[in-house]
């Protein structure tokens, strides 16, 4: 997704409407679509993190109850071992979401750190970092991840976050760098420089807070991209299958041909719907925020 280079640039320290949280709130509520997306994301996060505390976690294998139809007792019926599908679904969201979020946090952190260094200091460091990004962008990420997972079979989920995060940052780096370069020329940064405040303070107190909205939008987009990779690895069945999650449900549906069987539909369709809703939520939330925080885009 494209985000125009000039993000929200407000004069620092103003009333609530002008602070980052204020603008975030405006951004999330301004467009009805963006607001709906945010609600959708929140609903699924609540469903996946609070839901498991509310449902009965006792879900035994029951060979007399295989593939039963949805009923009052089993809202989505039962699966191939006679376990309750709804309980599995509730427990399945947490892992992809936290692994994706961690990966996105890491990508954004690296991109912001390297992007500010390159954009603020320019010169040799900048040239080297640009070269590094060019190389990282060209590496086919998913293949690299697959290779890591194929050779190291017992990789923990946070290990996947690290692999995903350390290849994904490069896509963000250029736009962050361009932002820093443009903000650096603004009067308030020049004023800070004239006061001899030092680069660390200027970057952290003057420049980065002014592009917080831009960074946040990119964080939302990155979560979506990380989910693509992580769920994909689970769909392939390459990850440890201990914790239930959406990708693993799809892997089971496909690996054992349940998807061709109409009786298994609730089990097959449920994770697909959850992923579609969550990713649509993230995208609409990101677009809504982008439009509100991004003055140049707002005019379009």
Residues forming contacts to other proteins in the complex (CB under 8 A) are: 1-2, 33, 122-124, 126-127, 130-131, 134-135, 137-144, 146-148, 150-154, 224, 227-228, 231-232, 235-236, 238, 250, 254, 259-262, 265, 268-269, 272, 275-276, 279-280, 282-284, 287, 300
Q: Please compute, for residue 210, the number of CA atoms within 13 A of its CA located in the half-sphere on the CB side.
A: 22
Spatial distance between the Cα atoms of 54 and 114, rounded to a whole number of angstroms: 43
Nearer to other proteins, 136 or 243 (CB): 136
CB of 131 to other proteins, least distance (A): 8
Distance CA 42, CA 285 (A): 11
- Residue 199 Ramachandran class (φ > 0 left, ψ -120 to 50 alpha, else beta): alpha
CB of 43 to other proteins, least distance (A): 17
* Eight-state DSSP code of residue 195: T
Minimum CB–partner distance for residue 268 and other proteins (Å)? 6
The answer to whether 133 and 173 have CB atoms below 8 angstroms apart is yes
Taking the complex as a whole, how short is the minimal distance between the CB of residue 96 and other proteins, in angstroms? 11
* Residue (63 or 138) nearer to other proteins, CB: 138
CB nearer other proteins, residue 91 or residue 141: 141
Neighbours of 204 (CB within 10 A): 11
Beta carbons of 3 and 218 less than 8 angstroms apart: yes
Of 42 and 150, the one with the shorter C-beta distance to other proteins is 150
Shortest separation between residue 15's beta carbon and other proteins, angstroms: 32
Of residues 123 and 242, the one with the C-beta less far from other proteins: 123
Residue nearer to other proteins on the CB measure, 82 or 232: 232
Cα distances (angstroms) measured from residue 36 to each of 23, 31, 41, 140, 245: 17, 9, 9, 34, 25
290 and 37 Cβ atoms separated by less than 8 Å: no
**Is 46 or 139 the residue whose CB approaches other proteins more closely?**
139
- What is the smallest separation between the CB atom of 135 and other proteins, expressed in angstroms? 6
Calpha distance 62→213 (Å, rounded): 50
Shortest distance (Å) from residue 3 CB to other proteins: 10
CA-based nearest residue to 225, from 102, 93, 104, 45 = 104
């Amino acid at each position: 997704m494209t985000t125009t280079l000039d993000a929200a640039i407000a004069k620092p320290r103003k009333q609530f409407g002008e602070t980052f949280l204020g603008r975030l709130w405006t951004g999330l509520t301004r467009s009805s679509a963006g607001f709906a997306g945010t609600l959708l994301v929140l609903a699924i996060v609540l469903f996946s993190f609070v839901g498991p505390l509310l449902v009965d976690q006792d879900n035994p294998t029951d060979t007399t109850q295989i593939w039963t139809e949805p009923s009052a007792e089993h809202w989505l019926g039962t699966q191939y071992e006679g376990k309750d599908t709804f309980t599995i679904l509730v427990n399945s969201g947490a892992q992809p979401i936290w692994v994706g979020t961690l990966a996105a946090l890491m990508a954004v952190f690296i991109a912001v750190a390297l992007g500010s260094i390159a954009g603020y200091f320019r010169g040799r460091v900048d040239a080297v970092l640009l070269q590094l990004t060019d190389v990282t962008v060209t590496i086919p990420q998913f293949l690299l991840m697959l290779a890591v997972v194929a050779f190291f079979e017992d990789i923990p989920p946070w290990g996947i976050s690290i692999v995903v995060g350390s290849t994904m940052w490069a896509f963000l780096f250029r736009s962050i760098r361009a932002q820093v370069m443009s903000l650096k020329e603004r009067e308030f940064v020049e004023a800070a420089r004239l006061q001899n405040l030092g680069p660390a303070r200027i970057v952290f107190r003057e420049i980065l807070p002014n592009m917080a909205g831009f960074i946040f939008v990119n964080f939302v987009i990155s979560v979506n991209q990380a989910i693509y990779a992580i769920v994909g690895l689970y769909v392939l069945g390459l990850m440890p299958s201990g914790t239930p999650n959406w990708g693993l449900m799809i892997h089971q549906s496909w690996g054992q041909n349940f998807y061709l069987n109409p009786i298994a539909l609730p089990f097959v369709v449920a994770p697909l719907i959850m992923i579609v809703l969550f990713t649509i939520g993230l995208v609409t939330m990101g677009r809504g925020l982008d439009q509100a925080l991004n003055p140049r885009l707002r005019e379009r």
